[in-house]
């Protein structure tokens, strides 16, 4: 991963770069930097290269602009998990197909989704949930029902293994019951977020095979869920093509592949590069920087699961100082508002400096609260490259254009 310490060319910085934003706004509140071109590139990649249908998992970043942009880029299906997400997406892209993929739903939410918003696809992991869906839809015959299997999260940085999913060896009764009701029957799983190897999917597909063989049912959809990675310091995954190839191969070897559809539900991979955060250093205490956003803002994962994000000093004069490791304190009065990092920044960083924290489009802005009165400032569209990318092609410069020189 490259890291750059931008010198702000006040006169020469093209508009639409991170440096220009600092030069122009000198923002007192954290600024969200949006890169629509990066989200568009990610969407096109999934639409063109995933060997099946990608749907966007809205919880990763529910911003209306992003949802509209993904739709315009060819993403036609959206994975929603709450009735509020159903209403949100239905209001922005009424023609989109919504799939309600939370295995535990309120009956009222199922009813509204089905009767008001035209949702036909639901996931479940018990016969009780199936009964809820049947009641809430008045015994509808046009349902796509996806049975969620529990699979290992061993290859992922964030587990999704304990809360949802029926064990493959206990899945037969649920699969058979859902087959009776469903017009279209699917099997879905989630390997955990930020899966660091394609083997996570290959192994999960073996459980799909075991479950459908044991139950003796035909399934019409195999949905490999989310978990596709992005790039962060210390977490550099293989190429997404390698994931797609492994999934394609595992899918083709299933007994249902001749008739079934393949789906996936990327959240993080579609939006991580979409946004970054510009913060100001308010105080320095040794190796600790007090910045104006934190655990209750866009940095929840940095605080609570020790996630590391790339950082870059944004200063008019740049810096020749060597990098050293810093940790961050957020702006609230809470000791928990602490991000251990390490975040690598020049040793001469001081109060008043700005830092860009990269790769925050997924599970960043989406988690923000207004605790203690600290909220986000503006969102600004920039045209420079995200700090890292899984999508930049060979022909584009290896060094991102947000290195601004005088």
Ligand X SMILES: *Cc1c(COP(=O)(O)O)cnc(C)c1O
| Site residues, ligand X (CB under 6 A) | 57, 59-60, 79, 101, 190, 193, 225-228, 265-269, 362
Residue among 354 and 363 whose Cβ is closer to ligand X: 363
Q: How far apart are CA 56 and CA 77, in angstroms?
A: 7
| 59 SS3 class | helix
Tell me how far apart the alpha carbons of residues 327 and 325 are, in angstroms, rounded to a whole number: 7
Q: Tell me: cis bond preceding 312? Omega within 30 of 0 counts.
A: no
Residue for token digits 């191969």? 249
> Which residue number, 25 or 158, has a Cβ lying nearer to ligand X?
158
Spatial distance between the Cα atoms of 368 and 297, rounded to a whole number of angstroms: 4
Q: At its nearest, how many Å lie between ligand X and the CB of residue 151?
A: 12
d(CA 81, CA 59): 7
- 200 CB-near residues (< 8 Å, 6+ apart): 152, 154, 155, 156, 191, 192, 227
Catalytic residue check, 333: yes
Of 85 and 312, CB closest to ligand X: 85
Q: Taking Cα atoms as reference points, which of 391, 387, 392 lies closest to residue 403?
A: 387
Q: Select 57 or 217, whichever has its Cβ closest to ligand X.
A: 57
State how far the Cα of 119 lies from the Cα of 178, in Å rounded to an integer.
Answer: 17
- The answer to whether 291 and 282 have CB atoms below 8 angstroms apart is yes
CB of 363 to ligand X, least distance (A): 7
Positive/negative CA dihedral, 148, 235, 340, 320: negative
CB of 268 to ligand X, least distance (A): 4
Task: Select 224 or 295, whichever has its Cβ closest to ligand X.
Answer: 224
Q: Which of 143, 139, 156 is nearest to 191 (CA)?
A: 156
Residue 133 or 281 having the CB closest to ligand X: 133
Tell me which residue has its CB nearest to ligand X.
226
Query: Looking at residue 213, what DSSP letter applies?
Result: H
Sign of the alpha-carbon dihedral angle for 316, 319, 323, 329: negative
- Judged by beta carbon, residue 101 or residue 111, the one nearer ligand X is 101
Counting runs of H as helices and runs of E as strands, what totals does the chain give?
11, 19
Those residues whose C-beta lies under 8 Å from the C-beta of residue 222, and which sit 6 or more positions away, are 186, 187, 188, 205, 208, 251, 254, 256, 260, 261, 262, 263
The residue (of 201 and 374) whose beta carbon lies closer to ligand X is 201
Considering the complex, what minimum distance in angstroms separates the CB of residue 106 from ligand X? Answer: 17
Task: Select which of 146, 188, 333, 365 is catalytic.
Answer: 333
- Exposed (0-12), middle (13-18) or buried (19+): which is 286, by Cβ within 10 Å? exposed
Q: Known catalytic residues?
A: 333
């Amino acid at each position: 991963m490259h890291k750059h310490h931008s010198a702000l060319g006040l006169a020469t910085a093209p508009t639409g770069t991170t440096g220009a934003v600092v030069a122009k706004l000198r923002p007192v509140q954290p600024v969200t930097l949006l890169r629509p071109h990066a989200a568009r590139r990610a969407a096109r990649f999934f639409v063109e290269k995933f060997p099946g249908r990608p749907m966007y998992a809205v919880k990763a970043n529910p911003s209306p602009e992003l949802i509209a942009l993904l739709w315009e880029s060819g993403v036609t299906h959206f994975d929603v998990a709450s009735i509020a997400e159903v209403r949100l997406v239905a209001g922005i892209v009424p023609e989109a197909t919504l799939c309600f993929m939370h295995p535990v739903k309120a009956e009222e939410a199922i009813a509204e989704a089905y009767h008001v918003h035209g949702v036909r696809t639901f996931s479940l992991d018990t016969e009780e949930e199936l009964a809820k869906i049947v009641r809430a839809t008045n015994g509808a015959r046009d349902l796509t029902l996806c049975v969620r299997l529990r699979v290992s999260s061993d290859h992922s940085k964030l587990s999704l293994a304990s809360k949802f999913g029926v064990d493959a060896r206990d899945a037969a009764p649920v699969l058979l019951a859902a087959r009776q009701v469903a017009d279209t029957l699917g099997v879905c799983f989630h390997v955990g977020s930020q899966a660091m190897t394609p083997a996570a999917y290959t192994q999960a597909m073996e459980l799909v095979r075991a479950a459908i063989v044991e139950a003796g049912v035909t399934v019409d959809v195999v949905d490999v869920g989310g978990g596709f990675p992005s790039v962060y310091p210390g977490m550099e995954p293989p190429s997404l093509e390698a994931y797609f190839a492994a999934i394609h191969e595992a899918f083709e070897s299933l007994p249902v592949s001749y008739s079934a559809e393949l789906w996936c539900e990327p959240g993080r991979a579609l939006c991580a590069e979409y946004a970054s955060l510009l913060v100001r250093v308010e105080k320095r205490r040794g190796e600790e920087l007090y910045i104006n956003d934190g655990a209750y803002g866009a940095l929840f994962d940095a605080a609570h699961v020790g996630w590391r994000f790339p950082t870059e000093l944004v200063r008019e004069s740049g810096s020749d100082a060597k990098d050293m490791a810093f940790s961050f304190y957020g702006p609230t009065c809470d000791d928990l508002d602490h991000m251990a990092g390490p975040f690598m920044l020049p040793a001469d960083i001081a109060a008043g400096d700005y830092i860009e924290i990269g790769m925050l489009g997924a599970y960043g802005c989406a988690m923000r609260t207004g605790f203690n009165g600290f909220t986000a400032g503006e969102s600004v569209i920039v045209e420079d490259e995200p700090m890292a990318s899984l999508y930049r092609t060979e022909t584009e410069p290896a060094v991102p254009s947000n290195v601004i020189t005088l």
